[in-house]
Amino acid sequence: MANIESIIALTKKEEGGLSRAKTDTASKNPSPYEHNGFKDWHTNRGVTYAAFKSLSSKLGYTNNKENFIFMPDAIWLKIAKNGYWDTVNLDKMNSQALANLFFSWQWGAGFGWRNRVSRYLDTKNIEWSISDLKNLPFLINDLVKKEGEKKILDELIEQFKQFYISLNQPANIKGWLNRVERLKNYAYTLLESAKQNSKILPLLVAGLIITGYVIVKKMQA
């Protein structure tokens, strides 16, 4: 099963600090908190003020200047896990690489990815309602069993790229696509690591069996 800890370091590395960039659609919903002479800060560490505000009651933190402008790690992690990872039930996804992809897509685009993934699954003759997020990992797990993890990963990475291209935001597209490329490279690292581990495990099991056999023989001698 996938674990959010795998994607936290990369996500933190990709995200900057406070932003008031007007090229970001999040600028339509700025925070009311003044900082460094400005009151139009709309994103901090990748968390938009709209998301921060909407999740505050559910996740048990206070919507105030201290928590948004100087966002503590504990609150950021709570938002990442409960507000994004858990929304897609990613603990139930077998592939860590694919879980990271879906988290990153949800993190970067909210629910905007669902229609594209639904159309993708249609090409696989898989019916999926975009409101049924809790069941999506099980559908992806089954698909990976049939067609292979790397094949599905590559196809969904391409869908991720095409999603960003479809938004038609020239000021942001280069950065978005570079970020997807780094995510893909990290995913390939995870696949290679899993491949190597799958080779080592049988050797370890064989070693344990042989060791056990030797011990038993010595006890019988």
The closest alpha carbon to 82, from 109, 60, 115, belongs to 60
- What radius of gyration do the chain's Cα atoms show? 22
Question: Kind of pairing, strands 43-44 and 18-19?
Answer: antiparallel
Which residues contact residue 100 at a Cβ distance below 8 angstroms, ignoring those fewer than 6 apart? Answer: 2, 6, 7, 10, 183, 186, 187, 190
H helices present in 38-135, as ranges: 49-59, 65-69, 73-78, 96-109, 114-123
**pLDDT tens digits, 142-175:** 999 999 999 999 999 999 999 999 999 999 999 9
> Structure pTM?
0.86
- Reduced to 3 states (helix: H, G, I; strand: E, B; else coil), residue 108 is helix
**At residue 208, what is the residue type?**
L
What number of other Cβ atoms are within 10 A of residue 174's Cβ? 9
pLDDT value for 195: 82
Determine the average pLDDT of the residues in 183-189: 98
**pLDDT tens digits, 74-126:** 999 999 999 999 999 999 999 999 999 999 999 999 999 999 999 999 999 99
When the pLDDT of each residue in the chain is averaged and rounded to a whole number, the result is 92
